[in-house]
Structure 1
């Protein structure tokens, strides 16, 4: 699949698809080799396939393609959840390249609060525990339409790694999701910090978005995903979308594995 084929309002420039990718640093907090770089004046993140750590439950060398597939599904939803992402060659071979996003340091979509200091409105608790000093703390996330949409996205792509740090708080309240290598497994592996709407009904916008994905899988999106995922994985994606629309509610944890990623950030 070429970058020009991706679902997007505008095709990528020739410079972004084949221009010189210069590495400027390494993001050491990532579990796979992840680099900060630039293509001309554009700042990007580069994750080479060669730097992917082997996993027992995901096929080797597939994480970069899953990240691109997640971007394509985000575009089909129409919610601008995943920054522009594509495959291309780089200094360490083929990999995923994604437009760098500059977060708003004054905002936080997920946070840890002392139990007695959770805001009375606008936040939803997810998990309660104790810190190293034995004080009660609560993990909570904001209650916003932007984050609700991300939770829906995570359900249909079967995101096994929605950590707090994988949610980028952008200016004006927009939220981007990143690090989608652990997605599209045929088994239920949803692990997320966004459980605050558990059991709530989907609204019309959310249902419409999932419906668009189902519709587009029958056309261009399905052809694009066919070059990135297995037929079984695409079938599982269709089944998750259909089940979510039939149920009409945010799902509950399946009980087949941990419901939260670790670490949480």
Structure 2
């Protein structure tokens, strides 16, 4: 039987070296794998942080927009939002636009007798009444104090008159407030028409305001269009 040369037999030293090399390579592979996981985690964390920051910025921008374009008391659009909305309608709308200027009759008495907190409570309730009455037929804004604007896009003037009369009826209701019940509130409504009475926001609001005060000084609790009283205005 032939003998195996001693040089061909594995030695314990060779086994040890091979074992060390294997463990080293295994360790390097594991280290690279862990490093890859670490880099992925850092990138993921940074991406997640950026996404959260982006969402927070969007949320804050929406909140800022809400604050700058809405009345803080009633949450209705404010004068700034109204101006933007009307300018957009002027650009895209072909049907007539009816701008109703609504001013409350008797509101000052509420503030004088029961205070501004009760007055604010009443304004919130009336804003809900106006919004619910107009529903999807138009746009409602509060431009200050006890003054509201409703914008209606409508071909039929009679439909607008019916809506204005509905608003008068709904506003003149009983309001259960924390300190009292108010049953003497009414409204005066002046109406201007785009483009018949003007083609810019300032002119239309001014003419609706003039029509409203014309009614307010002649008995209140009614509606009128600017063109109906134009001839009786001082030149």
In the superposition, the TM-score normalised over structure 2's length comes to 0.24
Where is the helix percentage greater, Structure 1 or Structure 2?
Answer: 2
Which has the greater radius of gyration?
A: 2
TM-score, scaled relative to structure 1: 0.22
